[in-house]
Amino acid sequence: MAAGMTGTIGALKAPTIVAATTMAAVLAAFGSTLLLEHAAHLRIDSVMQAVVLSLTLSRAHRGAPLPDRLNGFVVMPAVALGSVGLGTLMRDDAFAGDAAFAALVTSGVWIRRFGPRFTKAGTLMMLPAIALLVIPHGAPGAPSTHLLWAPAVAFIAYFWVTAVQLAVERPWRAGRTKAPASAPPRGKKMHASTRMAAQMGVALCTAFAAGHWLFPDHWSWVVLTAFIVCNGARGRGDALHKGLLRALGAAGGTVLAALVSGVFAPRDPDAVVLIFAVLGAAAWLRQWSYAYWTGGVTAALSLLYGYFGQSAIPLLQTRLEAILAGVVIGVGAAWSVLPFRSRDVLRRRASESLAALTDVLKDEPHARARFEDSVTELDTVYGPLRLHRFVTRTRPHHADVVDVLRETVPHVRALGPGAKALRANVGAVRRAIAGRHNGASYKPLALNDDDPAAHAIDAGLARIHEIYAPRARGAPPTTAPTREPGPPEKAPPAG
């Protein structure tokens, strides 16, 4: 019972720290921008912009290297200044503004092909532009002198996110060496970021057209949803999974918003406190499902509408309809424009994890850190695969590959010096994943090997091999002989 309680506390600790860090940065940015708003006589939009930016930055910039964080102090205000012009253009010339917005966001996706640093730069490029969809810079009646404060607001949000995350993460005191980033894959096949950029461009153009036609006063909700569904979607299954979560979360949030509608009078300060409490709970629950985040944001918007004296329920019904339209557009783009499967993404990333495991067995520097990082990256495709396994009840399933590699992490930490016999089986499994039939076949480790961690890893390799190279009917099983391994050090939850 004590072990179970310890595991539960450990599972809750990481999401709690993430949520607390996020809300600390959000509240600090909110308070600082509120002071700026009073001193410079700005609009309340500036405060809301700071909240939106700090919320999105807290997730996008988590774990970023220190040089990238320092570069952001230059990049973020510059991009925010550019977004002022973009917002004004979108207000005055919808066609040209929408085209410029789509080009900016699409280019931010495309440059991910050049590596992690460009991926971070592309994310920073898009954040102020995406914030335009939530709180427009160029709202009617906003003086240009007020709009030019946008770089200062972006700087405030970025400063507090960076300060709080550095205080919590303390990278200068980290005991684990960060593995060097792997080089982007090369080959004749079209790069995944090119496919994702094409999908994003089509989705945004369609969403702008449909939004202005169907929801002329709230077209931005369609565009924002299409962006969320397509942004970083690792294949068709991932896009569909994200779309379902966003739709379910919005529906649940609409029901919750209906329950709290009318509880607070306009301009009631207690409503502001509840808004931040709801956002904090949503940030905590987001670690388990994006649907919770969507529902929390919908409920927070209901309170915000009520704070400004607007009727929340009709707006929330319209928002739900716009979100559903955006989901259909985003999923449709992912499935029809240069589509690729989530299982193919899993195949590539599982192969990268096993390549890192091979380096561990060769005693290469940073190999163990690279292996654990690559296993963590598998979380990005686990959601849709797990949902597919649940719906189809298929066994074995490709989602099992992620489970196996997660379970392997503590055993890799406990490997003894005599585990190099595993290299041949790792190579056999990598060939099975790639669909190659050359080289030695998988053979379970001999029972006379006294390294229990090696046998635990080999049993996992057998399970992966069975998924990608199922044995013929009547052939002997490939499952490794099992023995009771000693309890290794418990691995932290992936992600």
Specify the 3-state DSSP secondary structure of 263.
coil
User: CA 372: distance to chain centroid?
Assistant: 18
Domain count, the chain: 3
Q: Are residues 102 and 215 in the same domain?
A: no
Give the pLDDT of the chain (495 residues) as one tens digit per residue. Answer: 333 433 433 444 567 888 888 889 889 998 998 898 888 877 777 788 888 888 888 887 777 777 778 888 888 888 888 877 888 888 888 899 899 999 999 998 998 888 877 887 788 778 777 877 876 554 444 555 556 788 888 899 999 998 998 888 765 444 444 544 444 555 556 788 889 999 999 999 999 999 999 999 889 889 989 998 998 888 899 999 999 998 888 888 877 777 776 777 777 778 888 888 888 888 888 888 888 888 888 788 777 777 776 666 677 788 889 999 999 999 999 999 998 888 999 999 999 999 999 998 888 888 888 999 899 889 888 989 998 998 888 888 999 999 999 999 998 888 776 666 788 888 889 999 988 877 667 787 765 556 788 888 888 899 999 999 876 434 455 555 544 444 444 444 443
Which range of residues forms the domain containing residue 48? 12-169
Please state, in angstroms and as integers, the Cα–Cα distance from residue 237 to each residue in 230, 332, 491, following that order: 11, 12, 28
In a domain, 412, yes or no: yes
Specify the 3-state DSSP secondary structure of 93.
coil
Is-contact 243 301, C-beta < 8 A? no
CA angle at 235 for the pair 231 and 238, rounded to the nearest 5°: 70
In a domain, 247, yes or no: yes
In a domain, 3, yes or no: no
Is-contact 222 215, C-beta < 8 A? yes
Q: Are residues 333 and 356 in the same domain?
A: no
In a domain, 203, yes or no: yes
Of 313, 340, 367, the domain-final residue? 340
Q: Are residues 364 and 442 in the same domain?
A: yes
Of 340, 363, 378, the domain-final residue? 340
Q: Are residues 352 and 435 in the same domain?
A: yes
Q: Are residues 19 and 155 in the same domain?
A: yes
Q: Are residues 115 and 72 in the same domain?
A: yes
In a 10 Å sphere around its CB, with 0-12 CB exposed, 13-18 middle and 19+ buried, how is residue 352 labelled?
A: buried
Q: Are residues 266 and 324 in the same domain?
A: yes
Is-contact 413 489, C-beta < 8 A? yes
What DSSP character marks residue 493?
Answer: P
Q: Are residues 293 and 316 in the same domain?
A: yes
If one counts every other C-beta atom within 10 angstroms of the C-beta of residue 93, the result is: 12
In a domain, 385, yes or no: yes
DSSP letter string, 427-486: HHHHHHHHT---SPPP-PPPTT---HHHHHHHHHHHHHHHHHSPPPTTSPP-PPPP----
Q: What is the pTM of this model?
A: 0.79
Q: Which of 465, 446, 451 is nearest to 404 (CA)?
A: 465
Q: Are residues 62 and 108 in the same domain?
A: yes
Is-contact 316 300, C-beta < 8 A? no
**What are the φ/ψ torsions at residue 241 (nearest 5 degrees)?**
-60, -45
Q: Are residues 120 and 203 in the same domain?
A: no
DSSP letter string, 113-164: GG-HHHHHHHHHHHHHHHHHHHS-TT-TT--HHHHTTHHHHHHHHHHHHHHH
> How far is Cα 317 from Cα 393, in angstroms, rounded to an integer?
35
Residues, the chain, total? 495
In a domain, 484, yes or no: no
Q: Are residues 449 and 361 in the same domain?
A: yes
In a domain, 402, yes or no: yes
In a domain, 438, yes or no: yes
Q: Are residues 406 and 428 in the same domain?
A: yes
Of 340, 369, 395, the domain-final residue? 340
pLDDT attached to residue 177: 47
Is-contact 165 58, C-beta < 8 A? yes
